[in-house]
Structures are given as structure tokens and as C-alpha cells.
Structure 1
Amino acid sequence: MAPAADTQQKEDRSRPAGEGRSGRRALPWVVIAFWIVVLAVTAPFAEKLSGAARDRPVDYLPASAESTRVEHLLQKLPGGNTSDALLVYHRDGGLRPADTKAAQEHLKKIAGRYEVRGGDKAPTVVSKDGATSMTALSVSGLEDTAAQGKAVDGIRDIVKEDKPEGLKAEVGGQVALMSDQNEVFQSIDGVLLLGTAGVVAVLLILIYRSPFLWLVPLGVVGVAASAAMAGVYGLIKAFDLTVTTMSTSVMTVLIFGAGTDYALLLVARYREELRHIERPYDAMRSAIRGCGAAVLASSGTVVAGLMCLMAADLNSSSGLGPVGAVGVFCALTAMMTLLPAVLVLLGRRVFWPIVPVYGTEAVQRRSLFAAMGNSAARRPALVLLCGVAALVALSVGAVKLPGALKQEDAFLNKPDSVTAMTTVGKAFPDASSLPITVVTRTPQAAEVEKAVKGTKGVATVQPGRSGEERTELQVFAVAKPESAGEKKTISALRGAVHDIKGAQAIVGGPTAQQMDLDTTNADDRRKVIPLVLVAVMVVLIALLRSLVAAAVLVLAVIASWGAAMGLSGLVFGPVLGYDGLDPSLPLLTFVFLIALGVDYGIFLMHRAREERLKGAGPEEAALTALRTTGGVITSAGVVLAATFAVLATLPLVALVEMGFIIAVGVLLDTFLVRTYLVTSASLLLKRWMWWPGKLSRGSMES
């Protein structure tokens, strides 16, 4: 019997009969009552979160970037932020007079319903082969994404009316792209929640082999998710926090993945204690004492890593930090309070049909992890060398990662806006279909326009809106949107207009935003990654009392991340055909894999430390830890990987890429890094693994 359990039973026997019993009976009910109140209070606010998420272009831009300042200034011009759309008409073999007439009638109807610059005289150009026409629409008065989406839907309805047979009519442009993206975002929440819950339910049934037990952690995770959604909604209202649909999607996955991991560890330890301790209440208390520190440290690394994202300049990344941290905190709180209370009240019968009977030992089966540990023990140096070599070899594939993801490549299923831009790109290969926006002080507008027209790579300049203080110019480059040529033109434009004294001219637009995103993401990586590493190291050192063990775990998960990125390079382009990688993913996946991946090292090394404190030698402690925690940690890793893999079922390339990278990294960490690399390193370093703590001293070695 464990010393803690023996001490607890002696304390129970020394008390007068009945003393403390009422408290033990009442506490679980008090905890459950508390969470019922929390659920009743938070549920109405949780439902409001999806409506409070913002997915405007500016919400995904760097806070201090030049293109972001352009977006803010455009909102102050007459009519608010102008929404740019394109009407695209195409007929194989050439447009007919009836086609042109229908297009003109459509434009009149659109101008009659919306505030279109130029009205029904908006500029229209026809391709050289006469098969495609393109009309540029600048629509004012659409103040938010909801209004923009309704306008795009309305314009699409109009162009479908009275359309000659065989004429292809589409709506493209920046506002149409954003509208289609927002429509996808709005469909994500329900699909993701149901998909994640379904995956977790199936895995828990397989892991527990019980018709009832899986319902308990899954229900507790649902309560945690509701509380987290309400908490994030409160942050939005209190601090005007930028929360995107991508952030809330990741938070949902985190709650289900991390929360289930904590439940697996606690339930496994509780089942073990029930065989040694008679009363469920006392067994749960012993289980929490045994694994509580590891769970707290595990959640601490995730929260600390996520909060480091607040140092990022990119709005969507900095907002993801506190959103994810709230989710993990709620998952931890629910799993360490509500889950124990429910399990204690249900007693041993919740484990049926495999009920842990007091005074018995679990059936000893041939352990896969014992065999793995023995294989590592025979040649630890060779195992470590081969494992590191495999990870390094996989990491080389990162050179195959595609370039930055373009807006039109962000969808798995190409919507109307993307096919419209494809049609325009083929019909007008020598002109850009998306404008570059220049905003200048009004007194210097003429001088700025002259400088813009004289810039190499500029095709045309169209006057935009003008106010007392600022004036907008719409510039079309010779090169295609988001191409190297257009980026070169934007750099030249910025150089030209910045030199005009007093103009305060700045350059924005879709491609300029992409350029600023690339620069900001690189800067954010340089700022955030060191902060994450320091934060995780501090938590690990505090838990394990060892610099060496902490360093080994961090280096191991860095290797997992590198290998996951390398595998992604071999899959995204060559296999899946993706034309780009979301520029924020290297940083976000690093943060998640470092913070989440190190969890399994924490569970393993904390158990090894516990064995060492009981008197086991370094090698025995390492192998015992692997044997006893292998099953539950592997189950936790599979659950976490599966929940992130759910992101890969969603229709946005960026979410698929994120889900793939994190799922692969977690699986590598679960099956290779923790099992072989960390264990073999422990066997090689022996007591020095625990330097400079007391476990590294020779007197501790048995």
C-alpha cells in the first residue's frame, strides 16, 4: 500500500466514529451545486460569443502596420470604409450584344440599390478577345461585415436575374472574398463542436471500455466549454479584445483536448488508488495529491505559452493568447473540481464492467511500454542517436513548405469570388484586378497622384473619395495581385509617396497587407518564441527541480515541432496541392506544440521523480515511469491529436494546415520523443538528469 494511502487510513481510524464523514458527503454536492450555478449564469453569455467574434480584414492585420493604418483611415472618409467588388461576365467565344445589355441592366439595378461610386457609369473594361468584361464597383455605406455580406448576396442575386443562357456572371473582389470567408466562418462553430465532441466520445469509449464512464469527463468538458465561452465574451466587452472565429475554434479544440487529457490522468490515478483505499472520497484525495502537481504544471505551461502571444503585433495572434488561456484555465478548474466530485458520488460502479475492487491488484498484462523501455535500456545511446537522426531528417522537409497563402487560395472549395478572380486573371493577364490603396493628406493629393503615376509598375490611377483631411487613390499595378511584381511595385510606391513632405501618404490594400503580415510574423517570431521558451522552462524547473530535465524536455518538443513542419512540407504542396502556408502558422504551431507537447514529458518525468523520492535508482525510476504512465499518456496524446485533427475537416486551408501540424507533432511527441528519446536520455544521464536538485546527488542512487 502506498505510504500516503496508509497514512490516510490511519488518520481515519484515529478519528471518532462519524467525524469528518458529513463533510466528505457534503463537499461533492457543494462543488456540483457551484458548477450548476456557474452553468446557469454563463450559458446565456456563451451563446453570444459567436456573434461577438470579428473577422474583418483589420482583425487579421498587424496592429502597427502601414496597411492597417490605411484601413482605419478609410473608415473616416465620407461613406465609411468603401467595399471594392468586381462584376465579371464571360462567354466562351465572345460576349454578345444581349450579354452586354444584360450587364448594363444589372449595373443600373445595383446602383439603384447601393451607394456605388459613379453610379451606373462605373468603369468597365473588356478583354482583348472580347470574351470577358470586368466592372469595378466601389460601394460605400457598408459599415460592418454583416452589411457587406448582405450586399454581396444582393448583388449576386441581381446578376443572376434575366441572364442570357450560356453567360457566366460572377462577383469577385476584396469584399466578395471576405464575404465568402465569413460565410465559412459562420458555419464552423457548430460543425467543430459536434465533430470534436464526437471524436472525444469515441476515443473515451475505446479507452475506458465502459458504457458509462466516458459520459462523465465529456459532460464536464462541455461545462468547461460553456464557462470559457462566457469568459471570452466578457473579455471582449470589458477590454475590446480582438477575437476571431479562428481563435474561438482553436479554443474549442483546446478545451476538449487538454481537458480530456487531464481527465485521463486523474481517472487513471483514481482507479489505481481505489484498489488501495476503501472510500472513494479518500481515494480521490490521494489521486489528486499524486497527479495534481503534474496537471497544474501541464496547464501552467500551456497558459504561460499562450499568454506570451500577447506580445505579438498581429491582432489575431495576440488575441488568441488570452482566449486560449481562458479555455485551458476553465478546463483545468472543471477537471480538478467538478470531475472529482461527480466521480466520488458515483463511486466504484461508474467503472463497470471493470470495477477496481478494494484490496486487489490490477491484472498484470504484458506491457508494451515495459518492452519499449527494456529495448531503450539495452542500447540507450543508439536509441537516442537514431531518434534524433530521424527527427532531423524529417525536419529537412520544411524547405518544401509553400510560400505565403494568398486570399484566393484560402478555401478548399472554391467559392464564387475565387472563380471570378481566376476568370479575370486569365482574361486580363497584364493588369491587376485588386486595387492598391494610397491615402494622403488632401492638400498634397495632386502631388502624390503625380508621384504615383510616375512609379514603375503602375498601370492606372483612379481618384477615390476625398475629405477635408484625407484623400484616397486607387492604384492598379501591371503585375497580378499578390505576385512578386506587384509587391515590388508597392515597395516602390511606398518609397515614392513617403518622400513627399507633409503628405503623410501611406499605401495599403490586399497585397500590401500580405507584405506587412510577412514582416510582422517574422518580427513576432523573434519576440514571442524566446518568451515561450523561458516561460515553459520556468514552469518545468519549478516542478522537476532540475535544469537538465527541463532542458531535455524543451529540446525534445522543439525537435517534434521541426519534424512536424518538415512532414508538412512533404504533404501540403506535393500531396494536398496547397499553394501556400498561412504566415502565422509557424509561430502559432510552435507555441502550441511546445506548450502542449511538453505536457507528456511532464507526466512522465513527474512520475519518475516520484519514484526516485521513494528510493528507486535513476534507471529503475525512468523505466517504472514509462511502464506505469505509458498507457494513459499515449491515450491522452491520441485524444489531443485527434481533436486538433478535427480542424483538418473544416473548409479553410489555414485551419487544415494548423490541425495537421499540431496533430502530427503531438503524435511524434507521444510515440517517439517521450517513449524513446526522453527515456533513453534519462538512462544515459542517470542521476545527472536531475541536476542540480537533490536527486542528482550520489547518496540518492540506490
Structure 2
Amino acid sequence: MTTQPPAPAPATAPPPPGTSFFHRYARLVSGRRSKWAVLVLWVLLISFGGSLAAKIGDVQNNEPATWLPSDAQSTRAVDIAEEHFDDKNVTDAVVVYARQGGLTAADQDKIAADRSLLTSHQAVAADIPSASAATDGKAAFLTVPLHTDHSDNSVLGDGVEALREAAEKDAPAGLDIKIAGEAGNIADFIDIYSGMDTTLLTVTLALVALFLLVIYRSPVLWLIPLLSVGLASQIASAVVYLLAKHAGLVVDGQSAYVLTILVLGVGTDYALLLIARYREELHRHQDRHEAMAYALARCLPAIAASAATVGLATLCLVFGSMNSTQGLGPVVAIGVAVTFLAMTSLLPAFLVILGRWAFWPFIPRYTAAQHGADTGKDHGIWRRVAAFVQARPRQIWIATALVLAALALGSTTLSTGQTQEEQFTQSVDSVEGQKLLARHFPAGSSSPADVYVPSQGREAALAALKGVPGVSQTGPPAVAGGWAHISVVLDAAPDTGAARETVERMRTALGDAEGEAASALVGGQTAVKLDTSDAQTKEEILLIPLILGVVLLMLIVLLRALVAPILLLLSVVLSYGAAVGTAALLFHALGYPRIDRGLLLFGFLFLVALGVDYTIFLMTRAREEVARRGHREGILTGLTVTGGVITSAGLVLAATFCVLAVIPTVASLQQGLLVAVGVLLDTFLVRSLLIPALALEVGPRIWRPGHPEAPSEQPVSPPAQPARLGG
């Protein structure tokens, strides 16, 4: 015989709101007159910030070398190059010319003409060296130094485009021309991210709109949260732009698109939670202003805890060593803060102004006779889930934990170290150019390593480098300001593991050399990749425990307990492992098995911070019900009444992160899939089965040292008319 959750008793009228900050704030934003002031304030903000939001692309910096820690060897090499060799704001592009049957005389004339013409081009920063020809006679390349500006992406992007147009103009038929090198690679990323903010915003808004239409089945209601999150996204982007422009906040393409996706996803979650509770209170209260005051006051602790957890967890990134990591934290925290303010002020004001008719055709009516007692008809699925959990809590939590652990084993199939070719989901010029170079030249020709050594140690440095396996050739030293610059061509392509191993051997050989050569620095594209990987490893060791500590502290403060937060944190970590394992299997299936090392920290941050959100929503409601019903009935009621809204929120958030797949880079695709998989696991396994089953198994001890449950002999009053999933 299946055990059923306890049938609800007639609901008593809720006590009037108290005088806490939450209640005062709720009454302020939903007041009869103050709601209009809130609306006017947000209209003024969007009228000022709307135009600024569109400029966020102007302050992005996507050049890898500028993101490294200041003590990295490749960063110090860049400093020397800029100070002594006039390499400041200069990035090399490589123009590759190839013909399968061999370069013709017309091809040779074209290459010579391009060198002569481009030397005087305004985009070119210095003289262009003579063309390098392949021994097989089928290819040649020009190394063209281009102007760049870290604060203005268009300088390099326009320079590469001008270079491409000049090289392709009047080219002999059949001559293959590609733009490779570091400048070509950066320009491809700039081109991909150009205008992507608008595309992401449009696609995500459309997806959220579709979900809201399905959830609410109302021609009006879906517009209210959609408009609120859309405005929040614009204000958040405007704030980030102003801080990047005038306060030195660092922003790259990743942090910009994460900001858009996160604001829309998290904002919709908060909206679903608030609207669901508002619907409940409309059944209890004849006055919609009073209903919103009750609803917002009861939702604010959970929403505030969620926003604080995500915000503080992401701010931990400022302790990272890489500038890209340090910049992502404040950007996300700003987005979450703006979203919290919008969803707890603009959204309530909108809802109260529009009144009950906004829910049409499923208008929640005041039911005075029963004070909106819960009939249970809107929670059939989740009552059955609660009954299932109640019947076998021990078997369920053990089985769920084992499933998650098994999924986590998939993470053993992951490998790091993406090559340039593996960074894009579509063909780009820089990748095709690198392939051409690799066929006809040493693969490292497109981006040689740069060795900077005190000038007195240049001969010893040359001698040390010539014996290093993987070094193809060394150029003659150029001397300036007491330093010598040696260009070193590697056998392997600059973005491969083999090239990074060669750089490590070069650094070891130079470090063991005598005299000034021991002070040599190895920089360049490959060295940047190597130093980035090392910095990411150090960041994981520092930041992962720090983020866990912040999340644990927030849970302790919210639940006023110790046992529950520890169990919840362990469940989130297990869920993260399962998400990584499941995503790894998906990556293999899609043909992108290798990841960038930064994905692990990115995924950990967002899955721990966002994954705990649904647990917060569940446990804060459960704690409220436990105080009225006792432990077992409170846990089951909390699961029942939050099931629909949290599931909806999880589906929306997972879908919004999947939108990252529209960006044609493997990193964005993998980030979106990882977070989406993790959110779905949290929604359907962790929050629905593991946590409630564990709470029943542990019993009232889970709330220790607090005691939220009411004495069992007191009458139990269920919540009135909990929100249903659909209208």
C-alpha cells in the first residue's frame, strides 16, 4: 500500500507581516503610491543605461597575454618587449600564400608587391621582413606587425580585415591566401564576438518567452517577468560598461556573454518563485497590495540568500591570479545584484499595477470561506513524488547518490589542452592558415617563441637553445636597451602540448646556463598558453575551497543550522562531479573531447553557486512548513508545493545556458552544456529525491543546533493554494 503525504487541513489566516526589514521593504515596493515611484525610478535608469549597454563590446579585451598574472614569465617578456623593442601595442599577423602545384612567377610577384604595398599601410606598425619560402616551393608567408589597442578591439580587427583585403586584391587565380598568426587568431575571436551580445540577448529572451508562455498559459503574464529581466540585463551591462570604461574593471568576451545569460536565467528563476507565492497570497487576500506584501516578504529571504550566495561566491574570483578570472567575478556579482533589485522591486511593482487580470485566463480569486485552502488538485505529480520519497527515504537517497557517483566517473575521460584548431565550431581563417603553414613549414613558424636575455648572455643563450629538442631554428639576436631578443621557431604548432613541452625544456636549459643567460625569459604564444595552464591549476587549488567555504557560511546563516548546510554542500559537490562526468560523455559524442582547463573552475563556480539555489528555495520553504507542521510533514509539504515552480526554474536556467551554443566556439558550447547538465541534475535528482530523502532519514537532527519544528501536538496549517505549474 502506497504511503501518501498527509492531507492538508483547512488553512488559517496568516499572521500579519512583522516589522522586519523584509516586511518593510515588501510594503514599500508594493504600496499603493510607492509602486509608481518604483516604476518611474526604473524607467529613468533604463533611459540612461540602455544606450550604454550596447557599448559593452567596446571595452572588451580578448588578447590572452594581457590576462596573465604579472609574475608570469611570458608577462615579464611582454614588458621587456614593450619597453626596449618598441613592441607595445603591436601584434603579428602571418599572411600565408600557397598553391598545391607550386608557387608561380605571378604568385612570387604578388607576394613581393604585397610586401611593398603593406609596408606603408596605416595598419602596419613596422617594416615587413622579406617573405619566407617553403623548401617545397609550394608556399610562402609574410610576417606583418599590426597596430593594436587593448582598449579598442576595432583597431586590430580593422587592421586584419584591411590586410586580408589587400592580400586578396588582384591575387592570381588558384592562389590560396589566409591570415594566421596571433593577430589572425585574435581577429577571428573579435569577429565572432562582435554583435554577439545582441544575438545572445535576442535568442535568450525568445527562449525564456517560450518557456513562460508554456508555464503560465497566459497571453499577458509571461510579458511581465520577461520585460523585467530584459531591463535588468540592460542596466547590468550599462553598469559593467561604466566601470570598465572609467574604473579599470577588466571585461572579455566570456564575461560579457556570461553576464547576459546569467541575468536572464537567474532573473527568471526569481520571477517564477515570486509569482508563484504571489498567486498563493491572492487566494488569501482581497487586496492585491497586501497579497504582494506577504508574498514578497516570504520570498525575500530565499531570493536574497540566493543572490548573496552567487554574488559572494563569484567575488571570490578576485583572489585569482589571472586577470581574466579576477575580472569575471565582479562582472557576475554586478549582474546578480542588479537582477536581485529588479526582481524584488520592478517586478512586484509591475504585478501590483496590472492587478489580478494579468493572470487571465487563470485568475486567482480571493476565497474567503476557506482562506484559499489547498485542495491538492494542482500538485498531483509532486504529491506522488513526495509519497514516493516518504515511503523509502533510505533506499532513495542511497540509490540517487550512487547514480550521481557513477555519472561522475565520466570525468576521467576528459583531457585538457585545446589547440587553436579545436577552439572553434566553424572554419575560421587563422585555423586554415595554420594548417597551410604546418604542411609546408615547421609548424611553429606562425608564432615563434620570444627569448629575452641580458645582452651579455646572448651567446650562451643561443648555445643552450640549440641543444633543446623541439627547437627548429633560432634567429639572430636583436639588441636594444641592454637586452637581446632571440626568435625561436619550434617544430610543433604553437598551441600544442608538444610546443608547451619544448618551451618548458627551453626554460630549463636557459635556467641551467651560465652567467646572464640564466636570467633569460621565454615568451610568445606558446609560453602564454603554458603560463595560463599553470595559473589555472593554482587558481583551482585556492578558489575551490574558498567558494565552498562561502557557500557553506551562507547556508548556515540562512538555515540557522549546521547539519543541514554540511549535507547540502556535500550534495552540491557530488552533483558537480556528476555534471562534469555527464558533460564529458556529451563532449565526446559531439566530437569535442578536449577542454580548456578554465572550464573546470568556471563550471564549479556556477554549478555550486547556482545549483545550491534550488536547494535554498526548497529548504527555506521546508523550514517554514516544518515550523507549522513538524519535521516529516514539513519536508514533504515543502517538496510538494515548490516542485512545480523549481522544476520550471531549472528548465529555464538550463535552456538559457544552452543558448551559449550559438557562439561558434568550443569553449562556449562546453560551458553551456556543463552548466545546463548540472542544473538539470540538481533539479530532478538532487532537489527532488536526494535532499528530501536525506532530510527524512536524518530527521529533526538536520536542523541542529536550531529547532524550527513546531510541537507535534499543535494543529497544522498548510499553505493556502500553492502555485501551480501552469496558469
What's the TM-score bracket when you normalise by the shorter of the two chains?
over 0.9
In the alignment, does 2:14 pair up with 1:5?
A: yes
- Cα distance change on mapping 1:544 and 1:174 into 2, 3 Å: same
My pick for the range that moved more, 500-509 or 277-286, is: 500-509
Counterpart residue number, 1:270: 278
In 2, distance between residues paired with 1:423 and 1:45?
A: 42
Q: Name the aligned partner's letter for residue 560 of structure 1.
A: S
1:332-343 map, 5 Å: 332-343=340-351
Q: 2:178 aligns with which of 148, 159, 170?
A: 170
Pair 1:512 & 2:527 matched: yes
Moved more, 237-246 or 517-526: 237-246
Q: Which residue of 2 aligns with 1:567?
A: 582
Q: Are the structure 2 counterparts of residues 94 and 449 from structure 1 closer, same or farther at C-alpha, using a change threshold of 3 Å?
A: same
Q: CA deviation at 1:229?
A: 1.5
Say yes or no: does 1:557 pair with 2:557. no
Deviation at 1:143, TM superposition (A): 4.1
Change (3 A) 1:687 1:557: same
Alpha-carbon distance, 1:508 to partner: 1.3
- Choose from 393, 399, 402 the match for 1:380: 393
1:106 to 105, 114, 131: 114
In structure 2, stretches of 5+ residues that fail to align are: 1-9, 19-26, 717-727
Tell me the distance in 1 between the aligned counterparts of 2:175 and 2:167: 10
CA offsets, 1:30-74, max 9 Å, x none?
Answer: 111222222233234323322112112234434432112223332
Could you tell me how far 1:553 is from its partner in structure 2?
1.5
- Work out whether residues 292 and 352 of structure 2, in 8 Å CA contact, stay in contact via their aligned partners in 1: yes
Letter in 1 for 2:490: A
Asked whether the equivalents of residues 156 and 187 of structure 2 are also in contact (C-alpha less than 8 Å), the reply is yes
**Gap change, CA 1:304 and 1:3, over 3 Å in 2:** farther
Q: Distance in 2 between matches of 1:493 and 1:700?
A: 77
Offset at residue 652 of structure 1 (A): 1.1
Correspondence for 1:197: 205
Which of 525, 529, 538 is the matching residue for 2:540? 525
Task: Identify the match of residue 544 of structure 1 among 548, 559, 581.
Answer: 559
Whether contact under 8 Å (2:30, 2:348) holds in the other structure is: no
- 1:248 pairs with one of 237, 256, 262: 256
Aligned match for 1:440, one of 429, 453, 459: 453
Residue 318 of structure 2 is matched in structure 1 by: 310
Separation in structure 2 between the aligned mates of residue 243 and residue 75 of structure 1, nearest angstrom: 22
CA positional deviation for 1:430: 6.7
Q: Is the 8 A contact 1:457 1:477 kept in 2?
A: yes
- The equivalent of 2:45 in structure 1 is 38
Task: Tell me: CA distance 1:632–1:276, structure 2 relative to 1, closer, same or farther (3 Å).
Answer: same
1:384-399, aligned counterparts within 5 Å?
A: 384-399=397-412
Which one of the candidate residues 135, 147, 152 is aligned to 2:141?
135
Q: CA deviation at 1:625?
A: 0.6
Maintained 8 Å contact 1:313/1:524: yes
**Per-residue deviation, 1:482:** 3.1
Q: Distance in 1 between matches of 2:279 and 2:613?
A: 21
Secondary structure of 1:86's counterpart equals: strand
Distance 1:146 1:8, change over 3 A: closer
In 2, the alpha carbon distance for the partners of 1:21 and 1:150 equals 51
The structure 2 residue matched to 1:96, chosen from 86, 90, 104, is 104
Counterpart position of 1:70 = 77
- Which structure has more RCO (C-alpha within 8 Å, separation ≥ 6)? 2
Q: Give 1:244's aligned amino acid.
A: D
Is the counterpart of residue 604 in structure 1 residue 618 in structure 2? yes
Alignment of 1:283-302 (within 5 A): 283-302=291-310
Give aligned-pair identity as a percent: 37
SS of the residue 1:5 aligns to: coil
- In structure 1, what is the Cα distance between the partners aligned to 2:391 and 2:197? 49
- Counterpart of 1:398 in structure 2: which amino acid? S
Task: Name the CA shift for 1:46/1:684 in 2 (closer, same or farther; >3 Å).
Answer: same
Q: 1:339 to 1:356 in 2, by over 3 A?
A: same
Between stretches 183-192 and 662-671, larger displacement belongs to 183-192
1:160 aligns with 2:168: yes
Distance (Å, rounded) in 1 between the aligned partners of 2:616 and 2:86: 57
Deviation of 1:251 after TM superposition, in Å, equals 0.8
Deviates more, 1:390-399 or 1:658-667: 390-399
Q: Distance in 2 between matches of 1:111 and 1:599?
A: 57
Matched, 1:449 2:462: yes
Change beyond 3 A, Cα 1:544–1:142: closer
- How many residue pairs get aligned? The number is 688
Contact (CA 8 Å) 1:402, 1:569: kept in 2 or not? no
CA contact (8 A) 2:95 2:141 kept: yes
CA distance in 1 between partners of 2:621 and 2:434 (Å):
57
Q: What secondary structure sits across from 1:413 in the alignment?
A: coil
Query: Which residue does the alignment assign to 1:56?
Result: 63
Q: How does 1:321-336 map to 2 (within 5 A)?
A: 321-336=329-344
Partner of 2:88: 80
Partner amino acid, structure 2, of 1:515: L
Kindly provide the CA deviation profile for residues 478-535 of structure 1, in whole angstroms up to 9, marking residues without a partner as x: 2333334322221122123345545642111121111111111111011101111110
**What is the CA–CA distance in structure 1 between the aligned matches of 2:304 and 2:110, rounded to whole Å?**
66
Deviations 1:267-287 (A, max 9, x none): 100000000011011101100
Question: How far, CA to CA, are the matches of 1:523 and 1:121 in structure 2?
Answer: 40
Unaligned runs of 5+ in 1: 10-19
Question: More displaced, 221-230 or 295-304?
Answer: 221-230
- The alpha carbon displacement at 1:589 in A equals 0.8
| Amino acid of the structure 1 residue aligned with 2:431 | V
What displacement does 1:374 show? Answer: 1.1
> 1:115 Cα shift?
8.0
Partner of 1:280: 288
Question: What CA RMSD, in Å, does the superposition of the two structures yield over aligned residues?
Answer: 2.5
Deviation sequence 1:644-664 (CA, Å, 0-9, x none): 110122111111110000000
Aligned-partner residue type, residue 330 of structure 1: V
C-alpha separation in 1, matches of 2:78 and 2:551: 37
Q: Are residues 35 and 431 of structure 1, via their aligned partners in 2, closer, same or farther at CA, if it must alter by over 3 Å?
A: closer
